[in-house]
Structure 1
Amino acid sequence: MDKVRAQEIVKSTAMINVNYHGIPVYIKSVQGGNETATVFPLDSMDHEQIVDLKGLEENQLF
């Protein structure tokens, strides 16, 4: 995922489905300088971690 889209998702009031290597996550913040984001799995909200933006993928619902 690119940095701009990740920032748009963070600012959005809608719940946008995002996965990190197949695991549903919530993006808490984006760190632009090193292309990372702070996320946590939806099923373990106390397990916050910093991940590479390249591993994030938006799920398109049809």
Structure 2
Amino acid sequence: MEIQRAQEIAASPVLANVLHDGVPIYIQHVDETKGTARIYPLNEPGNEKEVSLEKLREH
């Protein structure tokens, strides 16, 4: 996923359909410098992790 699109999704009040390894996720924050995003699975809000933007897919 491109950095700009990830930032748009993170800033939007509308939940986008984004997947990480086939799992629906929520993007909390995007780090432009590292090319990563802080995410969590929609069904596990306590399971936060930082992943490469390359691993995210908008469905």
For residue 45 of structure 1, give the secondary structure of its aligned residue in structure 2: coil
RMSD: 0.6
**Which residue of the partner structure matches residue 8 of structure 1?**
8
CA distance in 2, matches of 1:42, 1:14: 14
Q: Structure 1 residue runs of 4+, over 3 Å off? A: none
**1:32 is matched with which residue?**
32
Q: Deviations along 1:24-48, whole A, 9 cap, x unmatched?
A: 1000000000100000001110000
Is there any run of 5+ residues in structure 2 with no aligned partner, and where?
Answer: none
Q: What is the TM-score with the length of structure 1 in the denominator?
A: 0.92
Residues paired across the two proteins, number: 59
Gaps of at least 5 residues in structure 1 are none
Larger Rg: 1
Residue in structure 1 matched with residue 20 of structure 2 by the alignment = 20
